[in-house]
């Protein structure tokens, strides 16, 4: 719609807040072909799972802590049931990989059923459990065992996204995925890019 009306639409803060996830893939991997994406896309669920893993807390206790700290909303449904991560997955699939998908195309499973025992069992194998969003032949968001040495194994409310491309291989970007100041920096980044584009257009 923006292209049809000859206007600029930028939305970098929608994925990763201040961390330039979309820009990294769109600009730094320009000329390469992204074949798959895996990511920790929701800081709230990452905080909850990290606390459960490190402090052996129950889901309910870790969620209550996240709510006290302001990471989780009073109604945490969008986060803990995977819908927020799924929405971000759709944005990346369409913007970065030219897919034509909606949230209905994403298989979604949240973290409500993950227990401290599940995390303990994973730890015995050198793994942990994260809510991972992935784009390959299908799109899905689900609790997934990953190695504790995996670049996606980030703690707290951090986000991490691994892009696999044909030429460059795997590249991972890590940063804060939420926060007022962080998101404001993304809005400023978008405004400056629009300003640059307008200036270039006027000079042409």
The answer to whether 135 and 92 are in contact (CB under 8 A) is yes
**What is the Cα–Cα distance from 76 to 71, expressed in whole angstroms?**
9
- Count CB atoms within 10 A of the CB of residue 122: 21
Which ranges in the chain belong to alpha helices (H)?
21-23, 43-55, 59-68, 77-80, 83-97, 116-124, 180-203
**What is the Cα–Cα distance from 186 to 194, expressed in whole angstroms?**
12
**What is the Cα–Cα distance from 202 to 204, expressed in whole angstroms?**
6
At 7, phi and psi to the nearest 5? -130, 165
Any idea which residues carry the catalytic annotation?
A: 88
Q: What angle do CA 24, 93, 170 make, to 5 degrees?
A: 45
């Amino acid at each position: 719609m923006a292209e049809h009306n000859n206007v600029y639409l930028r939305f970098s803060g929608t994925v990763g807040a201040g961390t330039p996830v979309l820009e990294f893939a769109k600009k730094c991997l320009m000329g390469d072909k992204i074949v798959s994406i895996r990511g920790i896309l929701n800081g709230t669920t990452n905080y909850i799972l990290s606390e459960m893993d490190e402090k052996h807390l129950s889901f309910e206790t870790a969620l209550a802590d996240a709510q006290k700290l302001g990471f989780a909303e009073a109604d945490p449904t969008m986060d803990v049931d995977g819908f927020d991560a799924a929405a971000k997955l759709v944005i990346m699939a369409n913007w970065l990989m030219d897919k034509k998908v909606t949230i209905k195309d994403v298989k979604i499973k949240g973290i409500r059923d993950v227990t401290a025992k599940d995390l303990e069992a994973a730890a015995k194998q050198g793994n942990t459990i994260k809510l991972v969003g992935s784009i390959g032949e299908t799109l899905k968001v689900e609790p997934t065992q990953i190695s504790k040495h995996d670049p996606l194994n980030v703690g707290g409310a951090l986000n991490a996204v691994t892009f696999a491309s044909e030429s460059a291989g795997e590249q991972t970007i890590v940063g804060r995925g939420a926060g007022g100041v962080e998101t404001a920096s993304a809005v400023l980044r978008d405004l400056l890019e629009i300003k640059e584009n307008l200036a270039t257009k006027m000079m042409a």
